[in-house]
Amino acid sequence: TQLLEQSPQFLSIQEGENLTVYCNSSSVFSSLQWYRQEPGEGPVLLVTVVTGGEVKKLKRLTFQFGDARKDSSLHITAAQPGDTGLYLCAGDQTGANNLFFGTGTRLTVIP
């Protein structure tokens, strides 16, 4: 059972297009992290959001944490082939030792 559901599961877009990935849950998280994973590698941490309503920007990537700290979104502007990968959200709950990972969104950006 996944605490976090991501949508869409797969996304294939042309270079230069914009896209948004969603991460939803019925549970509250003390923080939420986004990772990108490329084939043959482990997930790499992109950002951590901790406050409800928080917005963080990382170059062309914008991350938002929902007001109730149950959901998050990742928006990519002008996608590039280098953005291709598996995007994972992961939630941290107070008292838990582990991260709860989402189901993942596999993004392909076509040149």
Partner 1 sequence: ETGVTQSPTHLIKTRGQQVTLRCSSQSGHNTVSWYQQALGQGPQFIFQYYREEENGRGNFPPRFSGLQFPNYSSELNVNALELDDSALYLCASSDWTSLYNEQFFGPGTRLTVL
Residues that bind partner 1 (CB under 8 A): 2, 4, 6, 30-31, 33, 35, 40-45, 48, 50, 88, 90, 92, 96-104, 106
User: 89, 102 in Cβ contact below 8 A?
Assistant: yes
Instruction: CB nearer to partner 1: give 2 or 108.
Output: 2
In sign, the C-alpha dihedral spanning 7, 18, 48, 104 is positive
Peptide bond into 111 cis (omega under 30): no
In angstroms, give the least distance from the CB of 16 to partner 1: 27
In angstroms, give the least distance from the CB of 76 to partner 1: 19
